[in-house]
Amino acid sequence: MSASSSPASNRTTDPSAPCWQPDPRQDSVLFAPLLTAIGVRHGFTTRCGGVSRGRYASLNLGRNWGDDLQAVDANLDRVARIAGFSVDRLTQVRQVHGSLVLHVTAPERATREADGLATSHDLALGVMSADCVSLLLADDEGRVAAAHAGWRGTLAGIATEAVAALATLGADVQRIRAVLGPSIGPCCFEVQRDVSDLFVAQDPAVLHERSGRRYIDLWRYNQKLLMHAGLRTEHIAGNPPCTRCDAERFYSFRRDGAQIGQHLAFIVGGSS
């Protein structure tokens, strides 16, 4: 069934609903009501319910930070079963902290460098993170995009590029929904002045100063980009959980350092 033919596509989303919700049947994947309401298969993985061990415990989906690849494969199989997509349809890029968004029509697994993907085909687009912002976007006719927005990609405008990629596929920007995945929040994203000055030059309101330290609000910055690109305010879910604050549910590079697990944010296009 396509997203446009789903009965859910006609429901009104409550803007006061939580940005991400757990499923009472499992603790491995969170879902966003804003996208569920239009019948789009999607999710953001937690660190719970997998088979990885040690610093990767337990639902690590990252393949490049040293975990046992058989464990990663088993974790991915679990996520795919929960979300209802085929692993062989998972499509990813080699993330490089830029703003390039690729249009894809067939599965590929990290063969090209970019930080975003867009499609209208039956593909599961996925991006990895362990603090960076993940962006999932969709209209109600099967067009979807996924983007990885670290601070460099955020400044480079990858949110804007993701919207433009969907518009190129024929999406009406006024009908696009966008959700920010769990990521490091303004409570925890401390930066030095050289980085904060880059953001302040574009939007002084994203800077928070506490006890002589400087923190940047990546969520606000990405929301502003999405609104400037034409999305309606009620079509943006932009206040996710902070990964650094919640060690029980999320990996965090800032909290725990390198050689840890990573999350997968995914969204399925074409049909649901």
What's the number of CA atoms in the CB half-sphere (13 Å) around residue 125? 34
Please calculate the CA angle 127-128-130 and round it to the nearest 5 degrees: 145
pLDDT of residue 8: 32
Q: What band does 18 get if pLDDT is binned at 50, 70 and 90? A: confident
Q: What band does 5 get if pLDDT is binned at 50, 70 and 90? A: very low
131 CB neighbour count, 10 Å cutoff:
25
User: Domain 26-184+236-268 - what CATH class?
Assistant: alpha beta
Q: How confident is the model over 49-79, as pLDDT tens digits?
A: 999 999 999 999 999 999 999 999 999 999 9
Spell out a b/e string for 19-48, using b for 16 or more CB atoms within 10 Å of the CB, else e: bbeeeeeeebbbbbbbbbbbbbbbbbbbbb
CB 115 within 8 A of CB 149: yes
Q: What is the value of pTM for the model shown?
A: 0.94
Token representation of residue 226: 């999405």
Sequence ranges of the domains in the chain: 26-184+236-268
Q: What band does 271 get if pLDDT is binned at 50, 70 and 90? A: low
